[in-house]
């Protein structure tokens, strides 16, 4: 009996969707706009995360060693730092590499290069470029390095490390940390707000469909139909709105991401939005379909409630 009623409800929902196809189309368009905006939020979040990740990679802590620091001791420090759970990457730059990079940066500064050539030795020491997994973790890495600069580690700490530039970069690192946290909170709040607004808009649109069927609902109530049987076809129709709207939204994303793909590659952390769309097509589609089903079903469920009251 249950499955028989369920089949009837599904069939009635599909017939009702088709019978009121012009109003159904307007409902689908509303949900499509909703899902399209939600998808835009997803893509913006991806672009923002890629940009922030790119910024994170460019922010690091540099450890400058004294000119007399033995390379073996430097490699011991490097090995110790790499074992820290907060550290993502450690790059060793030798004295010769540091000098070559310095000359490259100042290749147009003749006076600086001339003064450098007059020296009989390399004035630059080796260094480590340390990248943490998260900007907020640089402070703990700096505290670890303090043991070397204070001489409490490696036996010759004060003569080994000349300077750690965490304090000079601290303001930039703190701002980046705040930016990451703020972006995450803003993205979550924006998505929640859009879903709420979309639910309200869809609810009012679905009410129009149900208003047109108010007399049919009244007759069904008089003959003793259950609330489940009355509400079911409208919920099924609402779910159809969501599925079709998700298909429309995914079709719209194809030309949009194709058009923006090159731009996002050049300016936003090297991510190609079109390639991301293709690579995550089924994940995005599943998310939009699920959201569309929820919006359509809940909107229909709430909209028909008024006409079920005795």
Per-residue three-class SS string for 105-170: HCCCCHHHHHHHHHCCCCCCCCEEEEEECCHHHHHHHHHHHHHHHCCCCCCCHHHHEEEECHHHHH
Answer yes or no: are the C-beta atoms of 56 and 176 closer than 8 Å: yes
Q: Is residue 126 over pLDDT 80?
A: yes
**How far lies 233's CA from each of 193, 209, 242, in Å?**
29, 12, 14
The whole-number average pLDDT for the span 279-307 is 83
- Which residue did the predictor score with more confidence, 285 or 121? 285
- Which residue did the predictor score with more confidence, 48 or 141? 141
What pLDDT does 247 receive? 92
Closest to 205 (Cα-Cα) out of 243, 247, 233, 238: 238
Instruction: Please state, rounded to an integer, the average pLDDT across all residues of the chain.
Output: 78
Contacts of 32 (CB under 8 A, 6+ apart): 245, 248, 249, 252
Q: Label residue 80 left, alpha or beta by phi (over 0 means left) and psi (-120 to 50 means alpha).
A: alpha
When pLDDT is cut at 50, 70 and 90, the band that residue 10 belongs to is confident
When pLDDT is cut at 50, 70 and 90, the band that residue 113 belongs to is confident
Q: Which two tokens stand for residue 99?
A: 């000098």
What pLDDT does 251 receive? 92
Q: Is residue 107 over pLDDT 60?
A: yes
What pLDDT does 137 receive? 82
* φ, ψ of residue 62 in degrees (nearest 5): -105, 130
What pLDDT does 132 receive? 85
Spatial separation of the C-alpha atoms in residues 290 and 267, rounded to whole Å: 32
Q: Is residue 159 over pLDDT 70?
A: no
When pLDDT is cut at 50, 70 and 90, the band that residue 158 belongs to is very low
When pLDDT is cut at 50, 70 and 90, the band that residue 3 belongs to is low
What pLDDT does 157 receive? 43
The whole-number average pLDDT for the span 129-139 is 82
Q: Can you state the angle between helices 21-58 and 227-267, rounded to 10 degrees?
A: 40
Q: Which two tokens stand for residue 232?
A: 């079911």
Lowest mean pLDDT segment, chosen from 97-101, 170-174, 186-190: 170-174
Q: Is residue 151 over pLDDT 60?
A: no
Q: Is residue 310 over pLDDT 50?
A: no
pTM: 0.64
């Amino acid at each position: 009996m249950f499955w028989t009623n369920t089949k009837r409800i599904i069939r009635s929902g599909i017939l009702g969707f088709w019978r009121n196809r012009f109003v159904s189309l307007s409902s689908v368009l509303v949900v499509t706009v909703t899902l399209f905006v939600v998808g835009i939020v997803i893509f913006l979040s991806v672009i923002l995360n890629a940009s922030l990740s790119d910024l994170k990679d460019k922010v690091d802590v540099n450890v400058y060693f004294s000119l007399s620091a033995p390379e073996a001791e430097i490699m011991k420090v490097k090995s110790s730092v790499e074992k820290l759970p907060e550290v993502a990457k450690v790059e060793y730059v030798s004295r010769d590499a540091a000098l070559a990079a310095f000359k490259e940066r100042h290749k147009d500064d003749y006076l600086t290069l001339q003064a450098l050539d007059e020296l009989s030795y390399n004035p630059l020491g080796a260094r480590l470029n340390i990248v943490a997994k998260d900007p907020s973790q640089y402070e703990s890495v700096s505290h670890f390095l303090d043991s070397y600069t204070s001489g409490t580690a490696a036996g010759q700490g004060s003569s080994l490390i000349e300077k750690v530039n965490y304090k000079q970069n601290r303001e930039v690192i703190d701002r980046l940390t705040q930016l990451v946290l703020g972006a995450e909170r803003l993205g979550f709040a924006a998505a929640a707000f859009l879903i709420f607004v979309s639910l309200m808009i869809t609810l009012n649109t679905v009410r129009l469909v149900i208003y047109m069927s108010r007399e049919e609902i009244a007759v069904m109530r008089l003959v003793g139909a259950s609330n489940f049987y009355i509400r079911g076809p409208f919920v099924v129709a609402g779910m159809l709105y969501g599925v079709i709207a998700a298909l429309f939204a995914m079709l719209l994303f194809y030309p949009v991401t194709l058009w923006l793909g090159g731009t996002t590659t050049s300016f936003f952390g090297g991510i190609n939005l079109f390639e991301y769309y293709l690579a995550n097509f089924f994940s995005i589609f599943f998310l939009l379909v699920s959201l569309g089903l929820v919006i359509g079903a809940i909107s229909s469920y709430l909209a028909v409630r008024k006409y079920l009251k005795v």
